[in-house]
Chain A
Amino acid sequence: MSEAILKVEGLKTSFFTDDGEVPAVDGIDFSVNEGEILGIVGESGCGKSVTSLSIMGLLPAPPGKIVGGHIYYKGEDISHAKESRMRKLRGNDIAMIFQEPMTSLNPVFTIGEQLMEAIRLHNHLSKKELIERSVELLKLVGLPRAAELLDEYPHELSGGMRQRVMIAMAMSCNPKVLIADEPTTALDVTIQAQILDLMVKLNKETHTAIIMITHDLGVVAQMCNRVAVMYAGKIVEEGTVKDIFNHPEHPYTEGLIKSIPDLYGKKDSLYTIKGSVPKPGSITKGCLFAPRCEFVMDKCQVNRPELLGDGHKSRCFLHQGQGRKEVRK
């Protein structure tokens, strides 16, 4: 594997509300290599979207603020970069696709105007070249009638087509990293299949690294190389897709995988993780997953485990020192 293009170290992002500081992202480390697809999975409220907004410098501030850690893009720390610097990076080097294809396009401008704006901001091209490049991009993402589409408005397009336009826009300046925040959640399965297929194809052709943020383990299994599982603002497990799905270490990861109904077989009842995700900052002592964990030990209530391991890392005492099998007995 080639070296890391984007590296996040000890990132902490908090929201300062009337009720005090809420740590949404609480010290996470991960890196993405060139041409790789990294999945970040977790349930709602685990901090996965805040992570992506922190990287892009798009946190709503106030109340959001990066309170610690670093984000390195090609060795440059961009966690507290000036707005002017971020403007240069955004779109050109790091681009993002959002969940809602309905709301992330401006309804009063044509597709062409919006697409060309993004290209024009980072390149000096003539009008003719701009149009050529736009048509080329729309063709790249598999949209038919590319030239006509330039003059159409977002409401004339379906959800899947809009998401393709968003991807075209994100790819317009050949970014090195593409952050996709739940890009297919609002779409139907058959359209989702089209979009995921397209993203994998673009990744192979352009070697753009993709950070795929999703709650859908199926999407991760089908398209990512490596996965980081987040829970309550922390990464609880990280490894290759095979590691995570075939040998999950953290009880949370294992529980998540087991609680999905199987498309290929029928079980009588589904595995459940008891309780629900804690409010950020509500657990101050011990492992964040301890109240819901079925293997909980005394030390889990007192000490907070670290993310340890070689390649396949997990934040759980079961895999640090005392073996899991002994605990199961």
Chain B
Amino acid sequence: MSEALLQVENLKKYYPIKGGKFGKVSEIVRAVDGVSFSVREGETLGIVGESGCGKSTTGRMIMRLIEPTEGKIIFQNRNIMELSKHDMRKARKDIQMIFQDPFASLNPRHTVGHIIEEPMIVHKMGNRKQREARVEELLELVGLSAYHAKRYPHQFSGGQRQRIGIARALAVQPKVIIADEPVSALDVSVQSQVLNLLKDLQKKFNLTYIFIAHDLSVVRHISDRVGVMYLGKLVELSESEILYTDPKHPYTKALLSAVPVPDPDIKTNRIILEGDVPSPAHPPAGCTFHDRCPVAMDICSKERPNFKVLDDGRMISCHLYD
């Protein structure tokens, strides 16, 4: 595979909580706290984690829909953090996003044709006739029909709406697509249709995906490499095959063992974690996972583990592997 197309370095997003008489900053919520990874051209990087771990914030920061507090995002050898608003708008032609909720992410007052055409208008692509032809082509590409362009979003089912969202993202021929929980609102039988479509499109256009989801089986199916997030940090990142067959971080292990498998003959040894994910405003000292970790040591509550690379190429942040 080729070198990194997109590189994220030490990305952070802090939200200050203001309180008191003069709106003084009383607390800081560390939604994303120093995340680094790279994505190669044509691959799919999956990001998994539980709610509140910062995976969606990370996705949105790459598009700069949320302005990062700190960090670098290098896309095609350019740090897009330094771009002006105007230049960023242009850069978004190459990075597009598919959103989770197919009911909320399409404007109910616009026809599907207009929804798909709009990004092309924004980026001044082609004339009206060419754009209309492109809309029809896109609709057929995602498994809908050309006559659907005249309809409104409410006339479509959830799965079909997600296809429209995909067509809109593809309209400007992006290089990278960030998919934020694209199938979590869909039923299984429809989910598999959309997943297959995403895979086919990737092959056809050599797309690069950053696939954010909480469903571990879905992420395994679609991803080449997977990163696991916990409380705003990546805890383990590796080839998906390695991660799923031999998880090393205690959190990854617990997460994988907690997934109910649709086969009554498989009895998994569930690692049941105690308690809940702590609030990102008051993360535990040291390793943020130590208070729920079944194998925590003394050092874990004192020192924050560094992200290091193991022999098999996986990156992990855990004192067990120092």
Contact = CB atoms under 8 A, between A and B. Distances in A.
Given A188-B214, A193-B270, A246-B265, 14 more contacts: A190-B258, A193-B272, A194-B273, A217-B188, A218-B259, A218-B260, A221-B264, A242-B265, A246-B264, A256-B188, A256-B189, A259-B189, A259-B192, A276-B159
**Interface size bracket, A side:** 35 or more
Given A190-B258, A259-B192, A276 B264 contact: no
Contacts, number: 124
Contact of A259 (B188, B216, B220, B264): B188
Interface string A218-246: 11111100000000000000000110011
B188 A158 contact: no
Interface in A253-302: 255-257, 259-264, 266-267, 269-274, 276-277
A271 B192 contact: yes
Interface in B194-214: 195-196, 199, 214
A246 B263 CA distance: 8
B261 interface: yes
B190 interface: yes
Contacts of B241: 266
- With a 10 A CB-CB cut-off, give which of A255, A257, A260 has the most chain B CB atoms: A260
7 contacts: A190-B258, A194-B272, A257-B262, A262-B221, A263-B220, A264-B244, A272-B189
B50 interface: yes
If over half of B's interface residues share one DSSP class (helix, strand or loop), that class is named, otherwise mixed; here it is: helix
Nearest to B251: A190
Sorted from nearest, which 6 A-B pairs have the closest CB atoms?
Answer: A218-B260, A261-B221, A193-B258, A259-B192, A188-B50, A270-B192
Interface string B248-262: 000000111111111
B310 to A, nearest CB: 22
Given A255-B189, A263-B259, A241 B264 contact: yes
A221 B196 contact: no
A269 B216 contact: no
A190 B257 CA distance: 9
B296 interface: no
Given A256-B189, A261-B220, A261-B221, A161 B276 contact: yes
A199 to B, nearest CB: 12
Nearest to A258: B192
Contacts of A223: 260
A196 B195 CA distance: 28
A215 B188 contact: yes
Contacts of B218: 261
B69 interface: no
A255 B187 CA distance: 12
Interface residues of B, number: 43
A189 B49 CA distance: 9
A219 B268 CA distance: 13
Given A221-B261, A221-B262, A263-B244, A189 B214 contact: yes
A91 interface: no
A146 to B, nearest CB: 15
B276 A266 contact: no
- With a 10 A CB-CB cut-off, give which of B51, B196, B255, B260 has the most chain A CB atoms: B260
A256 B159 CA distance: 16
A144 to B, nearest CB: 8
B191 interface: yes
A260 B220 CA distance: 11
Nearest to B270: A193
B157 interface: yes
Contact of A263 (B192, B196, B261): B261
Contact of B260 (A222, A270, A272, A276): A222
A192 interface: yes
Nearest to A184: B260
B260 A192 contact: yes
A44 interface: yes
A217 B262 CA distance: 5
A152 interface: no
Contact of B196 (A189, A222, A269): A269
A242 B195 CA distance: 28
A219 B260 contact: yes
A191 interface: yes
B196 to A, nearest CB: 5
A43 interface: yes
Contacts of A44: 187
Contacts of A241: 264
B145 interface: no
A204 to B, nearest CB: 16
A263 B264 contact: no
A57 interface: no
B260 A216 contact: yes
Contact of A189 (B216, B220, B264): B216
Interface in B33-60: 50-51
